[in-house]
Amino acid sequence: MKKWIGIIAVAFVGGLVLIQLIPYGRAHANPPVVQEPQWDSAQTRELFNRACGDCHSNTTTWPAYSSVAPVSWLIYHDVQEGRQRFNVSEWNRRQEGHEAAALTAEGEMPPPYYTLMHSSAQLNPAEKQALVDGLQATFGGGTGRFERGRSNDD
C-alpha cells in the first residue's frame, strides 16, 4: 500500500512539473489604456479598479501564482474573457456597460473565488452600494439599491 502511495505521489508531482512546460497562460502583457469611460466620480473609478479592474481593464496586476500552471491557465482565461466582454481601458470600442451595476448588485461580480484570493476586492456593504450606484450613473441601466445580494429590480 505504501508503495502505491509513493508511486501516485511521484506521478502527481511529475505531472505538475510537466504541465509547467505548457506555455498557455503566461503571456502577462497589459495592452495600453486607449480610453476610459467618463466616470461619474473618482470613488467609482477607485472601487471599480479594486474589485473589477484586474479582469475588466488593461491594468491587470499579475500575482506570482499566475505563472504557475494550472492556476495560470484559469487566470489567463478569466482575464482574456473579462477584457473581451467589458474593458474600461478600451472605451473607444463599442461595449455594453449597462449590466455592470446589476451584476455587481446581484453578487455575480466580482466572482467569489476572486475575492477569496484578493482581499482588496472584498467590498463592505457601503462600498458595494457606492460601486453599484456609480456604475449605474456611469454606464446606465442595471439596478439601484441592493439588499443582501438582491437588487430592487427582482
Q: Please, what sign has the CA dihedral across residues 31, 115, 48, 137?
A: positive
Q: Tens digit of pLDDT for each residue in 73-84?
A: 999 999 999 999
- At 84, the amino acid letter reads Q
- In this prediction, residue 61 has a pLDDT band, given cuts at 50, 70 and 90, of very high
Nearest to 95 by CA among 84, 103, 104: 84
The stretch 21-42 carries a mean pLDDT of 88
Cβ contacts of residue 130 below 8 Å, gap of 6+? 43, 44, 47
Determine the pLDDT at residue 83. 95
The mean pLDDT value for 33-56 works out to 96
22-31, 44-53, 141-150: range with highest mean pLDDT: 44-53
Q: pLDDT class for 118, splitting at 50, 70, 90?
A: very high
Q: To 10 degrees, the CA torsion angle through 51, 108, 80, 29?
A: 10
Query: What is the pLDDT at residue 141?
Result: 66
- In this structure, the number of other CB atoms found within 10 A of the CB of residue 91 comes to 15
- pLDDT of residue 153 exceeding 80, the answer is no
Grid coordinates standing for 106?
446581484
C-beta neighbour count of 132 within 10 angstroms: 26
pLDDT above 90 covers what percent of the chain? Answer: 58
SS3 category, 90: strand
Spans of all domains in the chain? 2-151
Q: For 99-103, what is the mean pLDDT?
A: 91
Q: What is the dihedral of CA 123, 95, 79, 26, to 10 degrees?
A: -150
What letter represents residue 122's amino acid? Q
